Amino acid sequence: MAKLKRVLAGALSLCMVGSMLTACGDDSSSKADASSSKSSAADSSTANSSTADSSTADSSEGGDSSAANPDRKDTSKIHGTDSSQASKDTIRIYCWNTEFKLRLDKFYPKYTKLKVETGTYKDEKGKELTEIKTIDGKKVEWIQNTNDGNVYQTKLDEALKAQPTSDNKVDLFLVEADYAMKYTNGNVALSVQDLGITSDDTKEMYQYTLDAATSSVDNEVKGLSWQATPGLLYYNVDKAKEVLGSDDPAEVQKAVADWDKFKETAEKMKAKGYKMLSSFADTYRVFTSNVSAPWVTDKKLTIDPQIETWIKYTKEWTDAGYINGTDQWQAPWQNDQKPDSKVFCFFFPSWGLPNCLQSNSGDAGKGKWKGTQGPTSWYWGGTWICGAIDSDNQDIVADIMKVMTCNKECAKDITKTENDYTNNKAGIKELQDEGFKSEFLGGQNHLALMSENADKISLKGKISAYDQGCVEKMQGDMGAYFKGETTYEKALEQFKTDIKKLYADLEV
């Protein structure tokens, strides 16, 4: 009996110690483990491994002629800790939302030569979706952290810093334009040439997407993007007919050709009880696309005249009643994208059309929106895929990058089915020649407008590694000014102190 008690007490205390430690192991990041129980793994089907038509020939294993330097590729051998078998059997991907996952799940199995195993799961709306479970027998693991408040960067930095000594290696991570420079200039991403991706593979990409991912340290391309992100103005067809007399993009363009015209139209909308824009931040990127200096140069903060213009116009338009005063990304802002809302137009980049406007307006929105250029050409962000240095699944990383960003047929497929604007000039041109029509935009060929814009994009001298925090704080702190709760000077003062908190080494 005494022995039993002793054993019991020992077991209980072990449990207690164990439970103390459980909290330490994992962090708050939500792991979207592909094989977790949330996926109602009803049917697991092995997708094709042989859609070997001519188009996919260039997708995988093709470009080994680039003769990747084995030393540079096999970095984990140089750096020390070898990865565990579990890590070798897992492809760990760091991301901040599900955009890339959805694209990869939907299009990668069709265009890769590798063997992909898929399963199904239900998303939060109860829709059944297919997801990739394994690629070439390797499990896919997604680690998702929100971009807000630099959370994603903090988590990614921790993982990358641990990379040399950890036996559980990150294989692939995504970066956004707001902080891409930090990772392309740091020694943390594999050069695409080392992954066997040649300049021939990337020749149809927009040069700016390559420039933005080129390291200023060694002039090598560190990441590739499957999308180009030109922006357009999307307007509600019914309101355009009612107020402007026509819903033809060319006619509407005349009414929003520059900011003065834009204001006149806003006045007309107001007379009919409509709002021109939904949130204060809607036009933010339209102005910041044309800045002359990035937020931070040589660790010094600059507030560009374009940003001041955004503040001036937004305040003016708010006071005049042209803006609905919602908060970007919040539910009321999303509701304003429904076709029967009182908001006339939204500025959206390429990815905003499928991910925001289309999903928020739902089926009722079909044919209710059309795109036009708007007052100026602009862009917003972009996502780059980077192979993590020391990755233990570089062949698969290389294949994912090749299929998703270099394969013309895949790019065309994404644009056709998802309305996204892909980073393949030849593909976009072919689609236009084939007479592309967007069903959501009422049969409009918005690619023509987009490609005109995409040619003009240059990120050179416009982005810095500190943009995420600067943009968030600028929009957050100016809110009170727009709402008439504080003065411009006070809001600006607050912005500067906030930046000092986030980035203590910057001169403000």
Q: Among residue numbers 482 through 501, which ones bind another protein (CB under 8 A)?
A: 482-486, 490-491, 494, 497-498, 500-501
d(CA 176, CA 375): 25
Interaction between residue 339 and another protein (CB under 8 A)? no
Interaction between residue 480 and another protein (CB under 8 A)? yes
Q: Which residue has the tokens 């019914």?
A: 238
Pair 211, 460: CB distance under 8 Å: yes
d(CA 68, CA 75): 12
Cβ neighbourhood burial of 300 (10 Å; 0-12, 13-18, 19+): exposed
Instruction: Write out the two tokens for 333.
Output: 């802002």
Interaction between residue 362 and another protein (CB under 8 A)? no
- C-beta of 58 vs 327, nearer to another protein: 327
Least distance from another protein to the Cβ atom of residue 280, Å:
8
Pair 318, 271: CB distance under 8 Å: no
Q: Cα-flanking dihedrals φ and ψ of residue 62, to 5°?
A: -75, -45
- Non-local (6+) Cβ contacts of 458 within 8 A are 208, 211
- C-beta of 40 vs 146, nearer to another protein: 146
Quick one: which of 352, 335, 341 has its CA closest to 284? Answer: 352
Residues 399-458 that bind another protein (CB under 8 A): none
Residue range at the interface with another protein (CB under 8 A); choices 166-174, 235-243, 257-265, 320-328: 320-328
C-alpha 162: how far from chain center? 25
Any bridge partners for residue 138, and if so which?
135
Least distance from another protein to the Cβ atom of residue 21, Å:
7
- C-beta of 164 vs 305, nearer to another protein: 164
Instruction: Write out the two tokens for 232.
Output: 């357009």
Least distance from another protein to the Cβ atom of residue 183, Å:
7
Least distance from another protein to the Cβ atom of residue 440, Å:
25
Residues 375-404 that bind another protein (CB under 8 A): 389
Q: Which of 202, 372, 419, 464 binds another protein (CB under 8 A)?
A: 464
Residue range at the interface with another protein (CB under 8 A); choices 237-245, 374-382, 417-425, 465-473: 465-473
Instruction: Write out the two tokens for 159.
Output: 């993982």
| Helix (H), strand (E) at residue 185 | helix 180-185
DSSP state letters, 379-411: E---EEEEEBTT-S-HHHHHHHHIIIII-HHHH
Q: Which of 326, 358, 373, 423 binds another protein (CB under 8 A)?
A: 326
Q: Which of 308, 319, 340, 507 binds another protein (CB under 8 A)?
A: 319
Pair 388, 175: CB distance under 8 Å: no
- C-beta of 9 vs 448, nearer to another protein: 9
Q: Which of 62, 305, 325, 339 binds another protein (CB under 8 A)?
A: 325
- C-beta of 21 vs 250, nearer to another protein: 21
Distance in angstroms between the alpha carbons of the first and the last residue of the chain: 72
Residues 258-317 that bind another protein (CB under 8 A): 275, 296, 299
Residues 4-33 that bind another protein (CB under 8 A): 6, 9, 13, 16-17, 20-21, 24
Residue range at the interface with another protein (CB under 8 A); choices 47-55, 354-362, 424-432, 459-467: 459-467
Q: CB-hemisphere CA count at 13 Å for 431?
A: 30
- C-beta of 149 vs 443, nearer to another protein: 149
Q: Which of 137, 245, 332, 362 binds another protein (CB under 8 A)?
A: 332
Q: Which residue has the tokens 């089915």?
A: 417
Least distance from another protein to the Cβ atom of residue 129, Å:
25
Q: Which of 74, 89, 99, 327 binds another protein (CB under 8 A)?
A: 327
Size of the site for another protein (CB under 8 A): 73
Least distance from another protein to the Cβ atom of residue 485, Å:
6
x-marked contacts with another protein along 203-242 as a string, rule CB under 8 A? --------------xx------------------------
Q: Cα-flanking dihedrals φ and ψ of residue 257, to 5°?
A: -65, -35
Residues 69-108 that bind another protein (CB under 8 A): 75, 78-79
Q: Which of 62, 305, 321, 442 binds another protein (CB under 8 A)?
A: 321
Secondary structure of 14-53 in the HEC alphabet? HHHHHHHHHHHHCCCCEEEECCCCCCCCCCCEECCCCCCC
Dihedral-angle region of residue 408 (phi above 0 means left; psi in -120 to 50 means alpha; beta otherwise):
alpha
Pair 158, 196: CB distance under 8 Å: no
Residues 130-189 that bind another protein (CB under 8 A): 148-150, 153-154, 157, 160-161, 163-164, 179, 181-183, 185-188
- C-beta of 227 vs 464, nearer to another protein: 464
Quick one: which of 312, 271, 351 has its CA closest to 482? Answer: 312
Q: Which of 324, 355, 361, 407 binds another protein (CB under 8 A)?
A: 324
Q: Which of 172, 463, 469, 474 binds another protein (CB under 8 A)?
A: 469
Least distance from another protein to the Cβ atom of residue 244, Å:
21
